[in-house]
């Protein structure tokens, strides 16, 4: 026992110093930890990257729920974007809400769309990006090549935002959009690069620029900006050196499932868009073209399938601008709803409706710029025009919204044309105070024309060729059929009807082509599950109408096709223009009586005389297009008809002769002394010469001569370039074959001919011309040289005949001019 106690004591004594040391270290550690904790408590807390939601969106916030919940906190604006909407396709539409006087030269107005962008909101780390998407290059998502399409069409970032906070349940991100909407973001600005240069814009003045309002609706957000720029040469208020413009930025959520696309076919006129399909089975990137149209689907598909008229799920609704004069509103409404009948051909009733603008009580949020509303905009502007633009989903062509633009002064143009083109045969047109009902009928048809554009229809310039010239003199025919097979032709008035013709309709109206085109584009085809399934059905509808001229479509872009001209009516341009000039000769005689004699001033006389010259120019132009003309037949190979056909030789020769008689021989009836001596002190010869030279240059052009050379190469019986030039020369210089003096107008014209021949000998032609004609290697220069040699000999002989002194001088001058062309050295 004694030994055990001694052993235990020895161990205790050995361990005692170690235990004391450990306890000391432990105490020091605790003290250090306590000091560190105290230091941490006393140090400022490190700022979080994201603010707590309640601190950012505090009690002072003004919030608006909708597509995104929007917040205004003091002078800052925030979007609270649900995570579920990140990556969803949206459309960002920039539109002018208010603008300064004279901005853009008259064709930019309140309501003008300045940009449309397909966008998505995406998260990248701690940022939210607006990415602009392209819908041009596509491939099915299930195909491997879709990955290549994506990486080779990288989408640009429109703007980047730092994430400010998250919603309380973390289902949405919060970003500050103040900078995006209050600084000069060129992508959504109302100032184009051209406008900035023209007005010498220096910068955006931040002190005078601000966000006016932000409103959120279930499917869209509307932001109004007031932007003021410093500019050295503003369009108005020049001494202020400022441009203030108010913009409306609409952002709308696009359908999750895009509308089924419908393939375009050039045989039926539709506005269209194209996509490059890299997933096509064709051995190339396949370009596919589709039409733009509203999404119309029947409420009752079974009744629709039985052939009953059915209302669409979502009709097309237009609102009138609150600024529309009260006396014109009914005509605008009627003009919109004229399209109800064509839609009935497609199986829909009440498919399109016009409504008067709602009052503040009916809809406090109504704004013409709100993308939820399609509006007939009434623009207080001196511009004489009307337009029918629209906004469409670039993925499918579905029209989302449309604004018809009506400029206040446009009725002036229609009044003038009504007087000039129909006044000879139409007593109600022989006044500056056109009857209100006539004005209303004109306005109704112009609105219908522009609505046609907004429905997807372009101009159809062949529609007036469906009717015989003599039909236009029949009251029964014109009252039933109007003056063209479509409202979409530029056929405004019946200028063919003659004095004494009874019960004539002088103003255009909707026609059979409109019903056909609406049915073709809008008829619901439930059995077609894909766009490709529709093709055979659509083709069948076209072939059923292929031989009926009332359903022919003619492109506005056809510069060479006499069947697709603007402002013409009837199937025979020579006959129609003969009637038209007979009427103009009556009108010019009575023009002072209908204008200055009533107003006791010459302003209206001057305006109308200038437009009368324009009428003569148009009617003559319809004939001139026959020369070197080519009929363009929009056909498919299974229709067994060539796509292009030269105008018959006999018609071309007759057209050249008509031009000699009605344009190049001095039209003395136009030079009415009682008019011209009261509207200007000089310039009469130059004014007429300007019009004559235009036709001369048109005949003596590289592209027209090139076409005639091509036509002769295909068929020796066709009208040749040499024959045309001989016919032109002989007609222009008839006086040189006789002892006959040349009047001042003809002298000017003959000099213009020699100048034009010099141009053909020396100029290389425009890029557009040289695509089809190799000027230096073609027959053009040898023919021109030969014709100048013949003319030079004839003029030398004519200059020694018994003509007056000025005619002799004129001939000798032309001989010298030709010599300088043929022998420039």
434-460 tens-digit pLDDT: 999 999 999 999 999 999 999 999 999
Which residue has better confidence, 360 or 347?
347
Average pLDDT over residues 564-580: 97
What is the band of 580 on the pLDDT scale with cuts at 50, 70, 90? Answer: very high
Q: Render pLDDT for 748-767 as a digit per residue (tens, 0 to 9).
A: 999 999 999 999 999 877 77
Query: How many other C-beta atoms are found inside a 10 Å radius of the C-beta of residue 782?
Result: 10
Q: Quick one: pLDDT band at residue 558, thresholds 50, 70, 90?
A: confident
Contact 585, 556 (CB under 8 A): no
What are the CA-CA distances from residue 749 to residues 370, 688, 693 (Å)?
A: 56, 10, 7
**CA 722 – CA 305 distance, rounded (Å):** 61
Inform me whether the pLDDT recorded for 775 exceeds 90: no
Q: Element (H or E) spanning 379, and its range?
A: strand 374-379
pLDDT of residue 813: 97
In 143-302, where do the E strands start and end?
A: 157-166, 172-176, 201-204, 210-216, 220-231, 242-253, 272-277, 286-291
> Is residue 640 within 8 Å of 594, Cβ to Cβ?
no
Query: What pLDDT score does 45 carry?
Result: 45
Please report the pLDDT score of residue 36 as a whole number: 58
DSSP per-residue letters across 119-157: EEEEEETTEEEEEE---SEE--TTSTHHHHHHHTSPPPE
Q: Are 594 and 607 in contact (CB under 8 A)?
A: no
C-alpha neighbours within 13 Å on the C-beta side of residue 782:
5
Nearest to 470 by CA among 506, 508, 497, 502: 497
pLDDT digits (tens, 9 = 90+) for 268-318: 999 999 988 888 877 778 899 999 999 999 999 999 999 999 999 999 999
- As a whole number, mean pLDDT of residues 150-166 equals 91
pLDDT at 496 over 60: yes
Question: What is the predicted pLDDT for the residue at 13?
Answer: 40
Instruction: Please check the confidence at residue 698 and state whether its pLDDT lies above 60.
Output: yes
* pLDDT given for residue 90 in this prediction: 97
80 compared with 407, residue with greater pLDDT:
80
Kindly report, residue by residue over 373-416, the tens digit of the pLDDT: 999 988 877 777 777 788 999 999 999 999 888 887 788 888 99
Element (H, E) at 632: strand 630-632
Calpha distance 343→337 (Å, rounded): 10
In angstroms, the first-to-last Cα distance of the chain is: 147
CA 554, 560, 563, 569 torsion: positive or negative? positive
Q: What is the pLDDT of residues 589-620, one digit of tens each?
A: 999 999 999 999 999 999 999 999 999 999 99
pLDDT tens, position by position, 622-653: 999 999 999 999 999 989 889 999 999 999 99
pLDDT > 70: what percent of the chain? 94
Q: Is the pLDDT of residue 22 over 80?
A: no
**Eight-state DSSP code of residue 660:** I
pLDDT, the chain, mean: 91
Output the pLDDT for position 35: 60
What is the pTM assigned to this prediction?
0.89
Q: Determine the pLDDT at residue 598.
A: 95
Structure tokens at 601: 């001033």
Look at residue 6 and tell me whether its pLDDT is greater than 50. no
pLDDT for the residue numbered 770: 67
The answer to whether residue 319 scores a pLDDT higher than 90 is yes
Instruction: Write down the pLDDT at residue 48.
Output: 66
Q: For residues 578 and 469, give the distance between their C-alpha atoms in angstroms, rounded to a whole number.
A: 11
> Is the confidence at residue 1, as pLDDT, over 50?
no
Residue 16 confidence (pLDDT):
47
pLDDT of residue 33: 64
Is the pLDDT reported for residue 5 higher than 60? no
Top mean pLDDT of 214-218, 390-394, 518-522 is at 518-522
**In the predicted structure, residue 9 carries a pLDDT above the cut 60:** no
Decide if pLDDT at 818 tops 80.
yes
> In the chain, pLDDT over 90 holds for what percent of residues?
77
Chain segment 227-272, per-residue pLDDT in tens: 999 999 999 999 999 999 999 999 999 999 999 999 999 999 999 9
pLDDT in tens, 167-200: 999 999 999 999 999 999 999 998 999 999 999 9
707 close to 771: Cβ distance less than 8 angstroms: no
Residues paired with residue 318 on neighbouring β-strands, in sequence order: 354, 374
Query: Beta strands of 8-112 (E only): which ranges?
Result: 62-64, 69-73, 76-82, 90-98
**Are the C-beta atoms of 708 and 724 separated by less than 8 Å?**
yes
**Is 3 in a helix, a strand, or coil?**
helix
pLDDT score for 390: 87
Per-residue confidence (pLDDT) for residue 7, from 0 to 100 = 42
Do residues 628 and 652 lie in contact, with contact meaning Cβ atoms separated by under 8 Å? yes
The residue among 45 and 725 whose pLDDT is bigger is: 725
């Amino acid at each position: 026992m004694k030994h055990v106690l001694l052993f235990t004591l020895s161990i205790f004594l050995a361990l005692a110093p170690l235990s004391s040391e450990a306890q000391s270290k432990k105490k020091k550690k605790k003290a250090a930890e306590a000091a560190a904790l105290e230091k941490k408590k006393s140090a400022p807390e490190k700022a979080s990257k994201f603010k707590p939601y309640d601190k950012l969106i505090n009690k002072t916030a003004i919030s608006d729920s909708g597509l995104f919940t929007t917040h205004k906190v003091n002078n800052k604006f925030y979007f609270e974007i649900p995570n579920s909407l990140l990556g969803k396709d949206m459309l960002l539409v920039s539109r002018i809400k208010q603008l300064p006087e004279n901005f853009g030269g008259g064709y930019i107005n309140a309501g003008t769309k300045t940009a449309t962008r397909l966008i998505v909101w995406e998260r990248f780390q701690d940022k939210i990006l607006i990415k602009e998407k392209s819908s041009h290059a596509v491939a099915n998502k299930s195909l491997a090549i879709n990955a290549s399409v994506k990486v080779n069409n990288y989408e640009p970032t429109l703007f980047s935002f730092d994430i400010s906070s998250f919603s309380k349940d973390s289902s949405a991100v919060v970003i500050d959009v103040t900078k995006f909407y209050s600084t000069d973001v060129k992508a959504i600005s109302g100032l184009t690069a051209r406008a900035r240069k023209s007005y010498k814009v220096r910068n955006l003045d931040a002190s005078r620029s601000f966000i006016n309002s932000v409103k959120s609706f279930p499917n869209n957000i509307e932001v109004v900006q007031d932007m003021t720029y410093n500019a050295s040469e503003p369009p108005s208020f020049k001494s202020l050196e400022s441009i203030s413009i108010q913009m409306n930025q609409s952002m709308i959520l696009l359908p999750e499932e895009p509308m089924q696309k419908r393939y375009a076919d050039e045989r039926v006129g539709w506005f269209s868009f194209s996509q490059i399909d890299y997933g096509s089975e064709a051995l190339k990137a396949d370009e596919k073209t589709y039409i733009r149209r509203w999404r119309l689907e029947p409420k009752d598909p079974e009744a629709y399938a039985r052939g009953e008229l059915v209302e669409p799920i979502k009709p097309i609704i237009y609102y009138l601008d609150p600024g529309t004069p009260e006396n014109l509103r009914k005509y605008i409404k009627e003009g919109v709803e004229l399209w109800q009948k064509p839609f009935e051909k497609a199986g829909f009733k009440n498919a399109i409706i016009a409504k008067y603008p709602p009052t503040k009580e009916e809809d406090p949020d109504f704004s013409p710029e709100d993308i939820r509303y399609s509006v007939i905009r009434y623009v207080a502007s001196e511009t004489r025009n009307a337009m029918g633009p629209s906004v469409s989903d670039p993925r499918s062509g579905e029209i989302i919204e449309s604004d018809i633009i009506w400029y206040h002064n446009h009725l002036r143009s229609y009044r003038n044309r009504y007087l000039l083109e129909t006044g000879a045969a139409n007593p109600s047109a022989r006044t500056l105070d056109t009857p209100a009902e006539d004005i209303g009928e004109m306005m109704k048809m112009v609105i219908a024309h522009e609505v046609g554009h907004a429905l997807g229809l372009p101009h159809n310039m062949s529609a007036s060729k469906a009717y015989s010239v003599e039909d236009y003199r029949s009251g029964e025919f014109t009252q039933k059929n109007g003056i063209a097979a479509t409202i979409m032709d530029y056929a405004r008035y019946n200028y063919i009807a003659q004095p004494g013709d009874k019960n004539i309709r002088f103003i255009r109206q909707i026609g059979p082509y409109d019903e056909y085109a609406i049915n073709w584009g809008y008829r619901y085809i439930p059995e077609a599950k894909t766009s490709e399934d529709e093709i055979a059905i659509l083709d069948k509808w076209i072939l059923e109408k292929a031989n009926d001229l009332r359903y022919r479509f003619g492109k506005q872009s056809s510069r060479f096709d006499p069947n697709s001209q603007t402002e013409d009516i009837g199937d025979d341009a020579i006959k129609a223009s003969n009637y038209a000039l007979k009427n103009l000769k009556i009108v010019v005689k009575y023009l002072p009586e209908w204008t200055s004699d009533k107003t006791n001033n010459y302003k209206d006389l001057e305006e109308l005389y200038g437009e009368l010259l324009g009428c003569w120019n148009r009617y003559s132009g319809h004939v001139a297009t026959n020369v070197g003309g080519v009929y363009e037949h929009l056909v498919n190979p299974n229709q067994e008809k060539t796509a292009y056909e030269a105008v018959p030789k006999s018609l071309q020769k007759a057209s050249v002769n008509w031009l000699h008689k009605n344009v190049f021989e001095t039209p003395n009836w136009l030079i009415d002394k009682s008019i011209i001596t009261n509207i200007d002190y000089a310039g009469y010869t130059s004014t007429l010469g300007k019009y004559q030279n235009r036709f001369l240059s048109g005949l003596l052009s590289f592209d027209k001569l090139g076409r005639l050379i091509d036509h002769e190469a295909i068929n020796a019986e066709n009208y040749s370039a040499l024959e045309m030039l001989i016919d032109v020369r002989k007609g222009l210089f008839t006086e040189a074959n006789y002892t006959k003096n040349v009047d001042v107008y003809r002298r000017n014209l003959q000099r213009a001919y020699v100048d034009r021949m010099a141009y053909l000998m020396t100029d290389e032609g425009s890029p557009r011309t040289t695509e089809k004609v190799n000027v230096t290697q073609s027959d053009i220069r040898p023919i021109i040289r030969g014709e100048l040699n013949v003319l030079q000999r004839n003029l030398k002989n004519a200059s020694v005949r018994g003509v007056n002194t000025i005619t002799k001088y004129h001939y000798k001058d032309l001989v010298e001019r030709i010599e300088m062309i043929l022998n420039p050295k």
